[in-house]
Amino acid sequence: MTAERKENILIIGDLPRKYLAEWEITSDLALAEDRLKVHVERIGSEELLARHENLAPSELEEARALAERLVEGSSGRSPFPVPMAEVEKAARVCIALENVAAQHGADAVSLDCGPLFASRDASLPCAALALLQDAGIAAGCQIDIDALLTMVLFKRITDLPTFLGGPLASEGRLAVSHCSMPLTMCGPDAGEQPYRLGGHHGSGADPTIRTGLPAGTTVTLARLTRNAEELILTSGKVADSRAEIEGSPCCNTLLVEVPNLPRILSLIKGFQYHLVAACGDHTVRMAELARELAIEVVPPEEQTDAVSAP
């Protein structure tokens, strides 16, 4: 059964106490391991920083090649362009993060972005997290454990990359907004989405990958609540993909038509209470998996009667 998996989850950095308290994020990692059938390992941010600072010459060359590929693949000029030196910084973070994940046998990774932000030689990991997902590893920022565990559940039933984003209402729709959307949201066979490179939150540094999904794409949206007690679950169609919107400076925003917007918004506990989006309608299979794990599904399961898409 899908509930019997034992993924390795790697947490890099300190637990975000402010988020834990204000937005009710799980801090009981042993409980999470038991309920979700995963293994959690924690390491300090200094291990990632040391790996980043000590890349071998061949790894530096790999990073340069990655940076060139990202620039060459960009479909247009961003309103917030970044120089190649900054793209190379982001690529080095990506190589270091991939190496640390491989060293620890991680199937999923979440990290504290602060130490990378504080380092003059590094870059925020937005682009690295997106590319890690394209490589098959669930990856999220800000050590939002519940969002990461939700990404793991999606991987169990879809094996697709997912998009973690802050939720808010915009233009009468559910907006899901963040800076690390994978380029193969609908799977590698569907090809990469068009993208542009731009600076983080309108800056000229810390490159982000600006992409989106075509209007009409069906997505499933979900989030485990603290201690995996409930699974917030719904689906809808993408009305539009935007960059920055009012209420969020992040560069990737999905505007989703959902049938139960007031209900979903009533369950949200702040912008850092991220929802996770996956291409396709997987509400039936996610609800089934939740039941296997003794997790209650909210909203009520009349929202989960559609046939799940591959």
Give me the percent of the chain exceeding a pLDDT of 70.
Answer: 95
280-299: per-residue pLDDT in tens?
A: 999 999 999 999 999 999 97
Instruction: Report residue 3's pLDDT band, with 50, 70 and 90 as the boundaries.
Output: low
Peptide bond into 299 cis (omega under 30): yes
At 284 the three-state DSSP class reads: helix
**Does residue 294 lie in a domain region?**
yes
| Overall number of domains in the chain | 1
Structural domain boundaries, residue 221: 2-304
Would you say residue 158 lies in a domain? yes
Cβ atoms 256, 219 nearer than 8 A: yes
**Per-residue pLDDT, 1:** 47
pLDDT digits (tens, 9 = 90+) for 210-230: 999 999 999 999 999 999 999
Burial of 57 (0-12, 13-18, 19+ CB in 10 A): exposed
Selected residue with higher pLDDT from 117 and 272:
272
Q: Is 12 within the bounds of a domain?
A: yes
Residue at 213 is within a domain = yes
Q: Is residue 310 assigned to a domain? A: no
Residue 157 pLDDT grade (very low, low, confident, very high; cuts 50, 70, 90): very high
For residue 309, tell me if it sits in a domain: no
Q: Identify whether 195 is part of a domain.
A: yes
Residues 140-166, mean pLDDT to the nearest whole number? 95
How far apart are alpha carbons 123 and 71 in whole angstroms? 16
Q: Is the model more confident about 302 or about 233?
A: 233
